[in-house]
Structure 1
Amino acid sequence: MLDLTYFIVFVFSIAIAFASIWFGHQFTTTYYTKFHKDYFYYLITFFGFSFYGIWAQIFMRSFLSSKDTGGEMIEMVANFLPILGVPFLIISWIMLVKMGYSLVEVKPKKKFWLIHFIILAIIIALGGLLVTLDTSYWGLGNQLIDIQIGLVLFLDTVPIVFFVSMVVYHSKKYRMSYRNIITRFALLVLLGLTLRCVVLIFHDTDPWIFAPLLLLYFLSNFVPLFYLRLTSDAVFSPVRVEYLNEEKRALLFQKYQITKREKEIIDQICQGKTNQQIADDLFISLQTVKDHTHRIYTKIGINSRLKLVQMING
């Protein structure tokens, strides 16, 4: 029964990861900003490490236990598996720092990046030391996994605190509405870290308790993402046509038999209008705009504003 519970949680974890990455990709094709691209790569690397560092351990422990493998061998393999996810973890930290800079439009200094790479080199060295430790000699035993988790949580805290501090400090130069949204987003990212800390602290507790807690770990990054998805139109401008090519536009309308209303929607999209702005300008509902947009994409054989704009851009 416990194995079935873990399997169900695993399926939901995959669904959360897939939805998050899909939302992130939608951002990159709708707004096409440096921040959204950094955020997309952060999500990929975060979930990449999550599956290597958590689920790979769980499945390997279960598999080795079923083969009557010795406890020492199980611990050695389980402690090694998170190391495979370290590249994902390091890149996610770098992306998070870049997100902070790009969100508030501040250019980082070369000296700052040098300091970051030195810190990352120290992290890699510490991780390698933990893997090669003779746990029986040092009397660590099963405590090695606790040390690894503590190190990861501590190092995960550094870039997130930097990200939040960066956003809160530099948000003062923006208008109130923009400042409120990006500050709430940053605080939700910090809340996500808190949830991950709580989950990993209980890693050695009853499996019936830890299994559902794993969902909180994966949801920790979905909540700020979902909030940003609801509010992005208020703070970011969708991609737009910089140089309208009338010939391309006319050929597209003719080739795909675009209706009069669909032409109006396309023209509004090319001007960089959000769905809500299009609805207000054309005196139609937001859902109607979405339905028309979906039909336009289906007719043309594309799936994003970016591709539509690229087809018309001169």
Structure 2
Amino acid sequence: MDTERLYIWICFFFSIALAAGGAILFFQKKAIREIPPSRFLQYFLVLVYAFGFYSIWSNALFHLFFTERTHEAIAQLPEYLTLIGIPFLITGMFMLLLWALNLLEKKPGKFFLPLASLLILVMLLAYVAYKRFDLLANVRQLYALFIILTAFVAGSLLCFSGVKYVEKKPRRILILLVFFFGTIHIPLFLDRLATFIPELIFIFLFFFTTTFIGVYFAYTVKVPPLKPEDDGGAASFERFIREYGITGSESEVVQEIYKGKTNQEIADKLFVTVQTIKDHTHRIYLKTNLKNRAQLTSLLRKYEHPAMK
């Protein structure tokens, strides 16, 4: 029992080191902030780490401190904690999907993400209906299946389309890492982690793979130069639109923001509602990894062209 406790604590502190080290290595790469998809990968790391400690480790540590003779109500505590942590996992995995989508040179239609989400949900519900098991007692199998399906979709996106910011070889490794992240959950889905050693190996691989995806992307991504191009202001603004994936409607809003107009003035000029302008502005901030108009204006000065004056 003492040896088992030692292994659990070693793995726990390794998990902390991987999460902290991965976050530090990823966030210290300031240049990566110029890459719009990196924002989604940041969210993926933070949310999946939160799920890992909140749900996965709560189950492992519970069995460290409580015995099999624990009262039945307390014995179900890990399952309840896992359920509470599920929103972190769902949001984090969809951030992984958005990261993959924003890396593509040619994005699929706007209905791809809703359809992919619906397909994953249908497969999960079909599995529950087929097995007819207690949801609370088998929540780990369900979230394992969700991760497997979502990772497969994200990895497939990077396989079958051109990718921005990442060269051919790093792209292949990133694809393998995403698929591997899903693959390590197969034993959990099949309920083959009955003893504590396989469980600890799984937990270690969970944190290690999550960290490796973020760090490898941060250190292999190709950051485009920040200085404007030499072929004129118009080309520079087109470069801004291309680099950050700005749509036609969003580009009109960008130009009006640069002119210092309010949301109401922009809405009146474009014949849309103020809420529409707010929605466009929110998406622009997400794509450019900025927080306010002042930061956006500062960035736009590097891409200034006559239409924006």
Structure 2 equivalent of residue 153 of structure 1:
144
Q: Confirm or deny: 8 A CA contact 1:27 1:36 kept in the other structure.
A: no
Q: Distance in 2 between matches of 1:153 and 1:31?
A: 31
Q: Confirm or deny: 8 A CA contact 2:120 2:149 kept in the other structure.
A: no
* TM-superposed deviation, 1:242: 5.2
Structure 2 equivalent of residue 4 of structure 1:
6
Question: 5+ unaligned residues in a row in structure 2: which ranges?
Answer: 230-289, 302-309
Q: Confirm or deny: 8 A CA contact 1:61 1:74 kept in the other structure.
A: no
Q: 1:174 and 1:4, CA in 2 relative to 1: closer, same or farther beyond 3 A?
A: closer
Structure 2 equivalent of residue 246 of structure 1:
none
| TM-score where L is the length of structure 2 | 0.61
Higher helix share: 1
1:223 aligns with 2:212: yes
Structure 2 equivalent of residue 95 of structure 1:
95
Identity %: 21
Q: 1:217 and 1:30, CA in 2 relative to 1: closer, same or farther beyond 3 A?
A: closer
Q: 1:58 and 1:103, CA in 2 relative to 1: closer, same or farther beyond 3 A?
A: same
Q: 1:118 and 1:190, CA in 2 relative to 1: closer, same or farther beyond 3 A?
A: closer
1:34 counterpart SS class? coil
Structure 2 equivalent of residue 272 of structure 1:
none
Structure 2 equivalent of residue 195 of structure 1:
184
Question: 5+ unaligned residues in a row in structure 1: which ranges?
Answer: 131-137, 244-305
* TM-superposed deviation, 1:104: 1.4
Q: Distance in 2 between matches of 1:120 and 1:31?
A: 31
Question: After superposition, where does 1:251-270 map in structure 2 within 5 Å?
Answer: none
Question: After superposition, where does 1:21-170 map in structure 2 within 5 Å?
Answer: 21-27=23-29, 29-65=31-67, 69-70=70-71, 72-116=72-116, 118=118, 145=137, 147-170=138-161
**RMSD of equivalent CA atoms:** 3.7
Q: Distance in 2 between matches of 1:199 and 1:17?
A: 21
Q: 1:104 and 1:78, CA in 2 relative to 1: closer, same or farther beyond 3 A?
A: same
Q: Select the residue among 194, 208, 211 that pairs with 1:204.
A: 194
Structure 1 equivalent of residue 247 of structure 2:
none
Q: Confirm or deny: 8 A CA contact 2:184 2:206 kept in the other structure.
A: yes
Q: Select the residue among 155, 180, 184 that pairs with 2:169.
A: 180
Q: Confirm or deny: 8 A CA contact 2:32 2:218 kept in the other structure.
A: no
Per-residue CA distance 1:94-127 (angstroms, 9 max, x = gap): 1111111111134453333433554677699899
Q: Confirm or deny: 8 A CA contact 1:199 1:217 kept in the other structure.
A: no
2:9 counterpart SS class? helix
Q: What residue identity is the alignment partner of 1:192?
A: F
Q: Confirm or deny: 8 A CA contact 1:34 1:102 kept in the other structure.
A: yes
Per-residue CA distance 1:54-88 (angstroms, 9 max, x = gap): 1112223444439x532x32442222111111111
Q: Select the residue among 14, 36, 46 that pairs with 2:16.
A: 14
Q: Confirm or deny: 8 A CA contact 2:15 2:207 kept in the other structure.
A: yes
Q: 1:91 and 1:20, CA in 2 relative to 1: closer, same or farther beyond 3 A?
A: same
Q: Confirm or deny: 8 A CA contact 2:45 2:211 kept in the other structure.
A: no
Q: Confirm or deny: 8 A CA contact 2:177 2:213 kept in the other structure.
A: yes
Q: 1:150 and 1:208, CA in 2 relative to 1: closer, same or farther beyond 3 A?
A: closer
* TM-superposed deviation, 1:46: 1.2
Q: 1:156 and 1:209, CA in 2 relative to 1: closer, same or farther beyond 3 A?
A: closer
Structure 1 equivalent of residue 261 of structure 2:
none
Q: What residue identity is the alignment partner of 1:203?
A: L
Q: What residue identity is the alignment partner of 1:81?
A: L
Q: Confirm or deny: 8 A CA contact 2:37 2:102 kept in the other structure.
A: yes
Q: Distance in 1 between matches of 2:112 and 2:169?
A: 27
Q: 1:109 and 1:28, CA in 2 relative to 1: closer, same or farther beyond 3 A?
A: farther
Q: Distance in 2 between matches of 1:26 and 1:122?
A: 40
1:170 counterpart SS class? coil
Q: Distance in 1 between matches of 2:181 and 2:124?
A: 24
Q: Distance in 2 between matches of 1:83 and 1:116?
A: 23
1:236 aligns with 2:236: no
Q: Distance in 1 between matches of 2:107 and 2:51?
A: 28
Q: Distance in 1 between matches of 2:74 and 2:171?
A: 44
| TM-score where L is the length of structure 1 | 0.60
Q: Distance in 2 between matches of 1:158 and 1:69?
A: 35
Q: Distance in 2 between matches of 1:77 and 1:203?
A: 19
